[in-house]
Amino acid sequence: MVRIMCVVSYDGTNYAGYQIQNNGITIQEKIEQALKALHKGKEVQVIASGRTDARVHAVGQTFHFDTTLTIPEKNWKMALNTRLPKDIFIESVHHVVDDFHARYDAIVKEYRYFVLNRKDPDIFVRNHRTHVRDYLDIHAMQEACTYIEGEHDFSAFCSAKTDIKGSKVRTVYHASCQKDGDQVVFVFKGSGFLYNMVRILVGTLIEIGKGERLPSFIIDTINSKDRNKAGKTAPPQGLFLWEVTYR
Amino acid sequence: MVRIMCVVSYDGTNYAGYQIQNNGITIQEKIEQALKALHKGKEVQVIASGRTDARVHAVGQTFHFDTTLTIPEKNWKMALNTRLPKDIFIESVHHVVDDFHARYDAIVKEYRYFVLNRKDPDIFVRNHRTHVRDYLDIHAMQEACTYIEGEHDFSAFCSAKTDIKGSKVRTVYHASCQKDGDQVVFVFKGSGFLYNMVRILVGTLIEIGKGERLPSFIIDTINSKDRNKAGKTAPPQGLFLWEVTYR
């Protein structure tokens, strides 16, 4: 038995999210089906770094599984990709130590959120960018990002639908936004993120960018620990799980 | 009665092509439905610059129609876009003279074809770029492009399924290809194009890029007037109707 770790990218547009559930097709299901086919019908459970919501994408999601197959490391990638649909792609495959864990061993997770900031939408990126028509003040959003960094209780930025019972203290190592033509890219790196946390942060930053709130609104909202104080949850299609880092 | 001309972009991924047909949803159908809704149930026929195939895109398709509505020119765009699906977008709307014709008055049509030329596919552009794994010799393809330019009988580059009975002589004003990172962009401007002509040209250029053919193969193929001599028809998803020019 060997443990395998994979880096996978997926276009979440046509999925009900990463994690297997009763209503809707999921990424996990497609990956487990591919592994089952490779293992001649035997079920193989995969453990990912975490879940992503419906219509959210990944370029660097990670997962691990155990196998008795003796496929050389370099052949695993093609073996899996030929059994996966066109919107899921295994980027790399690695043999790892027996006690490696894709979720518990992750030390940093990076998310990026892409906004198309111009008058007209661009139909070709409608599933991968969130369209914001109004002018966004990039400097105000950049100032607000600095208040996100650090160790805070992010209760105000956690969906009420969370199943987290314990602490909502998380450390954000990096939060920034940059303008690149008519695109605004938000980058967040942290020890971990609460349910919908990145999307609520972005929703709040957009309100700040529009001038509806001051940058310091982030500080007040963190201190309030009240989800009702924060901005709207930004739509899923701009969000990408970008990278998961291990020791 | 006034005549209106529109520039429309569409993502052809989920359509059976531009032109109304019995099997499959078409762009024309969606536009005519939007116009019918605006005209309180009255049918409005649209005439486009030409058709595009299933899964082919447009950023600058044009069409005209006649209307008795007295909507100000600046309000037409939103009136139409609010009634169209998210993968069709009216870019601009213009009042034109009564005898303007979107098809007959077009003097130049420009098509672009996008290839992703790298080892791995990119799932996020799978519907808008054609993935070519093998190395493509850009200089060989550029030389071949020069042989496409000019007035030629393009019978060899016309699908056997064409309904054109007359001359297959067309003038290509411009044919080129450029490498931009891992993307190769082909540009064709001409007086008109035969059925599948751009896709057969690109399919042949890709064979030249792979080194399977010499650049001069284009000349031999044009002279043969034989569709069986030319390369394979390149897939539809890389193709964009880019611009239609009028006098």
Instruction: Name the residue ranges covered by the structural domains of chain B.
Output: 2-96, 107-246
- What lies within 8 Å, CB to CB, of A22 at 6+ separation is none
Strand-pair category, B106-117 with B130-132: parallel
Residue B111 known to bind ligand: yes
pLDDT tens readout for residues A184-214: 999 999 999 999 999 999 999 999 999 999 9
Whether B123 sits inside 8 A of A86 (CB atoms) is yes
Could you tell me which CATH class the domain A108-246 is placed in? alpha beta
pLDDT tens readout for residues B175-197: 999 999 999 999 999 999 999 99
Please tell me the distance in Å from A240's CA to the nearest CA on chain B: 11
Whether A126 sits inside 8 A of B86 (CB atoms) is yes
Nearest-Cα residue of chain B relative to residue A240: B124
Is the minimum CB–CB distance between B40 and chain A shorter than 8 Å?
Answer: no
Per-residue pLDDT of chain A in tens (247 residues, 90 and over written 9): 999 999 999 999 999 999 999 889 999 999 999 999 999 999 999 999 999 999 999 999 999 999 999 998 889 999 999 999 999 999 999 999 999 999 999 999 999 999 999 999 999 999 999 999 999 999 999 999 999 999 999 999 999 887 778 899 999 999 999 999 999 999 999 999 999 999 999 999 999 999 999 999 999 999 999 999 999 999 999 999 999 999 8
- What lies within 8 Å, CB to CB, of A114 at 6+ separation is A128, A129, A130, A183, A184, A185, A186, A238, A240
Whether B86 sits inside 8 A of A120 (CB atoms) is no
Active-site amino acid positions of A: 53
Is the minimum CB–CB distance between A14 and chain B shorter than 8 Å?
Answer: no
B89 has pLDDT over 80: yes
Any idea what DSSP says for residue B230?
S
> What is the architecture of the domain spanning B107-246?
2-Layer Sandwich (3.30)
Query: CATH topology of B2-96 equal to that of B107-246?
Result: yes
ipTM (interface pTM) = 0.93
Contacts of B11 in chain A (CB under 8 A): 123-124, 126
Please tell me the distance in Å from B11's CA to the nearest CA on chain A: 6
Which structure tokens are listed for A198?
């990145």
Contacts of A89 in chain B (CB under 8 A): 120-121, 123
Torsion of CA A227, A231, A235, A239, to 10 degrees: -80
pLDDT score of B160: 83
Please tell me the distance in Å from B236's CA to the nearest CA on chain A: 15
Whether B123 sits inside 8 A of A88 (CB atoms) is yes
Please tell me the distance in Å from B122's CA to the nearest CA on chain A: 8
Count other Cβ atoms within 10 Å, centred on residue B146. Answer: 12
Could you tell me which CATH class the domain B2-96 is placed in? alpha beta
Nearest-Cα residue of chain B relative to residue A237: B124
Interface test with A, best of B56, B124, B133 (most A CBs within 10 A): B124
- What lies within 8 Å, CB to CB, of B66 at 6+ separation is B1, B2, B3, B4, B44
